[in-house]
Chains A and B, each alone.
Chain A
Amino acid sequence: SAVISQKPSRDICQRGTSLTIQCQVDSQVTMMFWYRQQPGQSLTLIATANQGSEATYESGFVIDKFPISRPNLTFSTLTVSNMSPEDSSIYLCSSLGGSDGYTFGSGTRLTVV
């Protein structure tokens, strides 16, 4: 299965600023995804990152708040824009491919103060 390197692993940010999270996959994958895990909660899909086209967002998530890039088949970024304390969460990227199906990055723990 693919291995995903996600960074940063954690960050503390001021409200009103933006943070970009990066995920690098060690092989080409068809699909990549971004999830949010709010404190004590399960994972919620933010969007599917499409290579060469705009991401597909789930209900409740919008491009202006969570712009996503996917310039090639091994890399994607998620930006959390104009942050507020409510954005404090763990953000995880995922890829689809290989025998295990889905692989996850180690997550980015974001605290907004």
Chain B
Amino acid sequence: AQSVTQPDIHITVSEGASLELRCNYSYGATPYLFWYVQSPGQGLQLLLKYFSGDTLVQGIKGFEAEFKRSQSSFNLRKPSVHWSDAAEYFCAVDVKAAGNKLTFGGGTRVLVKP
């Protein structure tokens, strides 16, 4: 079955430290890939997306992600975390060949220690 996996349910990181959130998908074709952030009580905000081309994608708020076809991964990174980065992060996949719709991973909650 097609799926999106975020292996880490919770991550705690110190302010100023680096952050990496993992995302793996299982689809036959290369999908369109997205990372969203959801702050408490808020809607979803798009951080970045990958459709094609350069596999290293730059997003908003200092985030970047790298698409690795061989590993079916799209990991999100930030070199230096700020306290305001504490939120829930969702990886999502759109497999065009299966019709337009987003499938979300389970999410990773990021806590930032002062």
A residues at B contact (CB < 8 Å): 31, 33, 41-45, 48, 92, 94, 96, 100-102, 104-107, 109
Contacts and interface: CB of A to CB of B under 8 A. Distances in A.
Which A-B residue pairs are the 8 nearest by beta carbons? A106-B43, A104-B44, A43-B104, A42-B104, A42-B106, A42-B107, A107-B43, A104-B43
Interface in B23-50: 32, 34, 36, 41-44, 46, 49
Contacts of A45: 101-103
Contact of A102 (B41, B42, B102): B102
Contact of B49 (A31, A100, A106): A100
B100 interface: yes
Contacts of B51: 101
B94 interface: yes
Contacts of B90: 42-43
A46 to B, nearest CB: 11
A42 B46 contact: no
B61 to A, nearest CB: 15
A43 B43 CA distance: 11
A105 B43 contact: yes
A77 to B, nearest CB: 18
A92 B44 contact: yes
Given A43-B104, A94-B102, A101 B44 contact: no
Contacts of A102: 34, 46, 92, 94, 102
B104 to A, nearest CB: 5
Given A31-B100, A101-B51, A102-B94, 17 more contacts: A33-B101, A33-B102, A42-B105, A43-B102, A43-B104, A45-B101, A96-B100, A100-B49, A101-B46, A101-B49, A102-B92, A102-B102, A104-B36, A104-B43, A105-B43, A107-B43, A109-B41
